Structure 1
Amino acid sequence: MLSLPSLLTARVQDAAGIDPEMRPATKPQFGHFQSNVALRLAKQEGRPPREVAQDLVDRIDVSDLCEPLEVAGPGFINFRIKADVLARVATELLADPNTGIDVTDRPDKIVIDYSAPNVAKPMHVGNLRSTIIGDCFNRVLTAQGNRVKPQNHIGDWGTQFGMLVEQILFEGADATQMTLDDSVALYRRAQAHFKSDEGFADAARHRVVALQSGDPQTREIWQALIEVSKRGFNETYERLGVRLTDDDLAGESTYNDDLPLVVADLVDRGIAVRDKGALCVFVEGFETPLIVQKSDGGYGYATTDLAAIRHRVSDLGANRIIYVVGSPQAYHFEQVFAVARMAGYLPDGVRAEHVGFGSVLGKDGHMLRTREGGTVTLQSLLDTAEEVADRPVAMAAVKYADLSNSLHKDYVFDVERMTATTGNTGPYLQYAHARASRILRNAEEQGIEWTPQVTVLDEPAEQTLALLLSRYGEIVAEVGENLQPHKLCGYLYDLATAMSVFYEQCPVLKSDGEVRSSRLALCAATKKVLASGLDLLGIVAPERM
């Protein structure tokens, strides 16, 4: 697939010796791209910028792509892509089954850790961003031909399960018949019982030991609680339209048997040392050590994360691991990655990345809370969106609001703004796709014949649209490399806006002959890219709205 900005950059850099820093032209009369490379070189060489610019123009070989280059103003170089080149790119997009996405011939094995709700609790607003962002990464990296393995690191282990199992036995309840709401209510009763009854608290602590040692009755009830939660998780995943299944579950319990092995390995090699009763790893550059075993012999999240990394590299064969976890955990992951490097669990050549994200805020700019001050459940949040719009539009609104902002920033959950079909929203992109679909549908209903080939691009609005289409592949590649989905959102918004301008300025069905056929092909190419891009965001591309 032809990436025009990338090709131009490479050609100009060959002639200039430095990055030309190609930028879209600010006005149509300046062409499609501009570069200030001559001004920067002139300062180094002590020569007039326009003289340097003319020398470069004489050496730059882009005659197969551009009209004759122009020197403008104090020494800018203007690039105008040939109309037939733009037409060829748009036609390739229409014909290419991969819609311009470069599929690697050397795929990575990528593990993405995301969603990670807790068992016996409803998913909450804190799980929303991890789930949506991780699903987007899964889609983008898979589309590029990589072998992606999602890992849903659910919270299915720990002291709370001793309390829950003991409460079930106390009440004589049947865990297999519970719903997720039942397990939430059970958790609250168990907490109150634990605090008010020391005998129950002791029994709950002993139940944790029974769980860890594999007691059949305890394990059976624990497994039933997990099954109840899985049903609730899967309902939410289906509602959101994310690619997570039971096959992707790899909770904390997965690594339970590996924890003592990891600690023993770190001790044997002198990486972990005893400090104030705990086993710690001291890492240069970190103020505090990483505790891999507590003084009471217990293990924490750090040990589990080290065991998970070791498993994902040695057993799953990952050469890239992505953790989609809130920004407050940045220090934790920096430290865990550093220790994993020390221990050889993360060999050279294996990338480990923590993608942090901000919080979801209410309209008042504060953390989203219930009226009682509690945590907002994810289901209630989605209900709020679906009260304003039907499900596909509501989910588009929620996902786009999340992904269109820089991930590390907080964003405001404003349903009215998010579901608008105007402005920079998910429904606006859906509307743009539906409009392109309607044009093509009307052409079919009117018996208009056209060929899937863009041939005429005389109008600026046509050229702008075709030029944007040519950038799709490079935008997807950038998201796959840098994990910044807002870049794809911004691109699709620009494409939808350019489609709207094209629709207003360039009559499609009312034009004639080759012009009409070419414009219909341009609509079809735009529709295809919008649909592909929306799918990478996890958003449905509707035929009608």
Structure 2
Amino acid sequence: MASVPSLASTVHQRVADALSAALPEAGTADPLLRRSDRADFQANGILALAKKAKANPRELAAQVAGGLPANDVIKEIEVSGPGFLNITIADRAITETLAARAADERLGVPYAENPGTTVVDYAQPNVAKEMHVGHLRSAVIGDAMVKILEFAGEKVVRRHHIGDWGTQFGMLIQYLIEHPHELDHEGSREVSGEEAMSSLNRIYKAARVLFDSDEEFKDRARRRVVDLQAGEKETLALWQRFVDESKIYFYSVFGKLDMEIRDADVVGESGYNEMLEETCHILEESGVAVRSEGALCVFFDDVKGPDGNPVPLIVKKSNGGYGYAATDLSAIRDRVQSLGADTLVYVVDARQSLHFKMVFETARRAGWLNDQEKAVQLAFGTVLGKDGKPFKTREGETVRLVDLLDEAVERAAAVVREKAQDLTEEEIAERAAQVGIGAIKYADLSTSASRDYKFDLDQMVSLNGDTSVYLQYAYARIQSILRKAGDAKPAAHPELGLAPAERALGLHLDRFAEVLAEVASSYEPHKLAAYLYQLASHYTAFYADCPVLKAETPEMVENRLFLCDLTARTLHQGMALLGIRTPERL
């Protein structure tokens, strides 16, 4: 089905047409239509246009209003102040527009006009290391953006740039050669993520102790790094065992987060090894990078250290080793040239902003990024504890991500059990996972990504305030009403007038498509979270003011059930795009 124009776009077009007719010399003028508290919309663009045309703004506004006869969409137009237009929409138009949205499985949300290919780089854990709270935001924000962009019609390539290369592997592989059964598991049963991580942790700690205390082991470990970089067969096979064991663990954590991570999308640092030398060669040949004290560097006029000297991006170190920049630049080449991407989105900690600014600028100088192919960093802030400091355990340790997720589910179970009237223990456990994980995701996604946010589980699983549980309960409440409706079915009745709470809910439902378009273009999922919270709040007000099943006439019952049903579908779709489940019963 074709997309459904929003009321805002319909009114915008009609006011623009009337404005062009009243002031032909202005051409296609923008009436600057905004939502308003005084009416449904306000057109603010007439003042500036009148000033330009040396016309009286109030007279021009009256002329435009006169060219907008009250019709099927606009109920009332009022000229106010120095030349604003206050516009009220007809109740019939609200209901008819919503009915058209309800008839479409995409709720009237259009596909993007010119979809392209976007690579989203997110969820980047390190091999042989435990995931901690710092890994949460990249995964949650990235997953939501992938879903939102795909819904908009974009072709999205997921990339998980895991840390699977580097000097620490010499130490780990050498230790495994000398203690060959440390990664073995008893029998042929499937290994859990916790077991895999526990083996890796044990090996990492033991190898680190040896590396720090035994000079001969340290030498053997360093030689092993050279073998790894040279692609020596046995060394690579043992390296692969560490990667595979880590993936068992990663996938179990992402599974708890209710996220799908596909093997084909995991392309770690090692995936670009073959390209590093060529990347450096191209940069040096083209003069983008220059030799400085033996290292291959890229310099920038606006990047200086505290001493005022330029701080370069080091692509290749003076000892011949490659820096992170070589890998990141090779990844850009691969994503643009091999995957055909026109947009690269990096969901990476804000503390790496300078590195990525320098990498993107280097890629532009080399011609790998240009006006057609662009890269953006969706930078995110730090997760803080209730005390406003970086989130740590009482002992000052970094918080394990898996412990955090388990605790959220535990807290949610208490909330669900308290409210549950007819749920079995099994159903309570299932809902607890959906509510607990949803609470963590929503707390993250409802904050602007660039800001730090406080991790407060008590607040996150609260039924009151801006939480996912509040939204999930609104959805479950609607499902309960629909189940109790018996023979009465949702049906739109455009001939009925709307109560103020119905109008407010209807006008907000109509904004869904425009909010999604804005979120997809600006990479700001918190705006979708804000929209959904406002939707649940409008619904709560509607529920309080407008009896649904006890409405005065059968038509009013059907019309209110229709508003309930469309609200539930919008909540369900919006929450799904944020990666959050909406249980039918709570």
- Aligning the two structures, in what range does the TM-score lie when normalised by the shorter sequence? over 0.9
Structure 1 residue 387, shift from structure 2 partner: 2.0
Q: Is the 8 A contact 1:11 1:61 kept in 2?
A: no
Alignment-derived partner of residue 314 in structure 2 = 291
SS at match of 1:175: coil
Alignment-derived partner of residue 447 in structure 1 = 487
**What letter matches 1:349 in structure 2?**
Q
2:64 maps to 1:24: no
Q: Write out aligned runs for 1:173-192 (5 A).
A: 173-177=181-185, 179-192=196-209
Q: Is the 8 A contact 1:108 1:319 kept in 2?
A: yes
Alignment-derived partner of residue 141 in structure 1 = 149
From 277, 288, 312, the equivalent of 1:260 is 277
**What letter matches 1:422 in structure 2?**
N
SS at match of 1:458: coil
Alignment-derived partner of residue 397 in structure 1 = 439
Alignment-derived partner of residue 159 in structure 2 = 151
Q: 1:61 to 1:314 in 2, by over 3 A?
A: farther
Q: Is the 8 A contact 2:336 2:342 kept in 1?
A: yes
Q: 1:289 to 1:13 in 2, by over 3 A?
A: farther
Q: In 1, Cα distance between the equivalents of 2:88 and 2:76? A: 8
Alignment-derived partner of residue 540 in structure 1 = 581
**What letter matches 1:119 in structure 2?**
V
Q: In 1, Cα distance between the equivalents of 2:494 and 2:566? A: 9
| CA deviation profile, 1:430-485 (whole Å, cap 9, x unmatched) | 11111111111111xx3324536665342111111111111100100000000111
Q: In 1, Cα distance between the equivalents of 2:495 and 2:162? A: 53
Alignment-derived partner of residue 451 in structure 2 = 409
Q: How many residues align?
A: 540
**What letter matches 1:31 in structure 2?**
A
2:325 maps to 1:302: yes
Q: In 2, Cα distance between the equivalents of 1:10 and 1:176? A: 68
From 411, 418, 425, the equivalent of 1:388 is 411
Q: Say which is worse superposed, 448-457 or 530-539, in terms of deviation.
A: 448-457
Q: Write out aligned runs for 1:334-353 (5 A).
A: 334-353=357-376
| CA deviation profile, 1:327-351 (whole Å, cap 9, x unmatched) | 0111111111111111122243012
Q: In 2, Cα distance between the equivalents of 1:486 and 1:508? A: 31
SS at match of 2:434: helix
From 500, 513, 534, the equivalent of 1:473 is 513
Gaps of 5+ in 1: none
Q: In 2, Cα distance between the equivalents of 1:262 and 1:328? A: 25
Q: 1:396 to 1:222 in 2, by over 3 A?
A: same
**What letter matches 2:114 in structure 1?**
R
Q: Is the 8 A contact 2:385 2:391 kept in 1?
A: yes
From 248, 259, 274, the equivalent of 2:265 is 248
Q: Is the 8 A contact 1:50 1:71 kept in 2?
A: yes
Q: In 2, Cα distance between the equivalents of 1:62 and 1:452? A: 23
Q: In 1, Cα distance between the equivalents of 2:267 and 2:493? A: 48
Alignment-derived partner of residue 524 in structure 2 = 484
Q: Is the 8 A contact 1:454 1:519 kept in 2?
A: no
Q: Say which is worse superposed, 396-405 or 448-457, in terms of deviation.
A: 448-457
2:171 maps to 1:163: yes
Q: Is the 8 A contact 2:117 2:340 kept in 1?
A: yes
**What letter matches 1:90 in structure 2?**
L
2:477 maps to 1:435: yes
SS at match of 2:74: coil
| CA deviation profile, 1:105-163 (whole Å, cap 9, x unmatched) | 53211100001000001111111000000000000000011111100000000001001
**What letter matches 2:513 in structure 1?**
G
SS at match of 1:267: helix
| CA deviation profile, 1:369-426 (whole Å, cap 9, x unmatched) | 1222121111111122122101111111111110111111110011111111121111
Q: 1:493 to 1:25 in 2, by over 3 A?
A: same
Structure 1 residue 356, shift from structure 2 partner: 0.3
Identity %: 44
Alignment-derived partner of residue 66 in structure 2 = 58
From 497, 501, 517, the equivalent of 2:541 is 501
From 54, 74, 90, the equivalent of 1:82 is 90
2:499 maps to 1:459: yes
Q: Is the 8 A contact 2:290 2:297 kept in 1?
A: yes
Gaps of 5+ in 2: 21-25, 186-194, 305-310, 413-431
From 365, 378, 384, the equivalent of 1:361 is 384
SS at match of 1:71: strand
Q: In 2, Cα distance between the equivalents of 1:273 and 1:393? A: 54
2:15 maps to 1:12: yes
Q: In 2, Cα distance between the equivalents of 1:22 and 1:450? A: 32
TM-score, with length taken from structure 1:
0.95
SS at match of 1:100: coil
SS at match of 1:535: helix
From 557, 565, 574, the equivalent of 1:524 is 565
2:92 maps to 1:72: no
Q: Which has the higher contact order (CA 8 A, sep 6+)?
A: 1
SS at match of 2:223: helix
Q: 1:203 to 1:452 in 2, by over 3 A?
A: farther
Q: Say which is worse superposed, 357-366 or 17-26, in terms of deviation.
A: 17-26
**What letter matches 1:122 in structure 2?**
E
Q: Say which is worse superposed, 396-405 or 73-82, in terms of deviation.
A: 73-82
2:139 maps to 1:131: yes
Q: 1:69 to 1:185 in 2, by over 3 A?
A: same
**What letter matches 2:505 in structure 1?**
L
| CA deviation profile, 1:306-335 (whole Å, cap 9, x unmatched) | 000000011111111100001011111111
Alignment-derived partner of residue 326 in structure 1 = 349
Q: 1:474 to 1:450 in 2, by over 3 A?
A: closer
